[in-house]
Structure 1
Amino acid sequence: MDCRNEGCTQPQDEDIMDIPLDDPAANKAAAKIQAGFRGHMTRKKMKDDKPRDEVSSTGSTSICQG
């Protein structure tokens, strides 16, 4: 089905960009969101890397020190 024939409305670009980009509060909020996401991705990566290290039943790593 084609939306053009049924009169569907598409979101316009004007509605999407109604946030002033030079607003210091908006920039601060965006930086917080980005920092949180980057932290999330770093924690996720560290969690994925952790199972590769084998841990003995005593809780110490099984890497030989010599």
Structure 2
Amino acid sequence: MDCRKEGCAQPQDEDIMDIPLDDPAANKAATKIQAGFRGHMTRKKMKDDKPREEKQRDQK
């Protein structure tokens, strides 16, 4: 089965197993990716919360 032709959403299992989990460089890269994503989510949440805070301040 070729995912490129059939449009699979998930990678093949063989691709996942090629990553050495005990490699320090892989762990460092994963940490950077996770930190970037967490920062993105925090900024998104703060942006969504800001209009509510401004509305509450204006009503007082």
Superposition TM-score tier, normalisation by shorter sequence: 0.5 to 0.7
User: RMSD in angstroms over aligned alpha carbons?
Assistant: 5.5
> How far is 1:16 from its partner?
2.4
Deviations 1:2-47 (A, max 9, x none): 9999999996422322010000000000000000000000000000
User: Structure 2-normalised TM-score?
Assistant: 0.66
Per-residue CA deviation, residues 31-64 of structure 1 (Å, 9 max, x unaligned), is 000000000000000000000122xxxxxxxxxx
Structure 1: which 5+ runs fail to align? Answer: 55-64
Q: How many percent of aligned residue pairs carry the same amino acid?
A: 91
What is the aligned length?
Answer: 56
2:14 match: secondary structure? helix
**Structure number with larger C-alpha Rg:** 1
Greater percentage in helix:
2
Task: Please give the alpha-carbon distance, in whole angstroms, between the structure 2 residues aligned to 1:5 and 1:34.
Answer: 31
TM-score in terms of structure 1 length: 0.61
Gaps of 5+ in 2: none
User: 2:40 aligns to what?
Assistant: 40
CA distance in 1 between counterparts of 2:53 and 2:34 reads 30
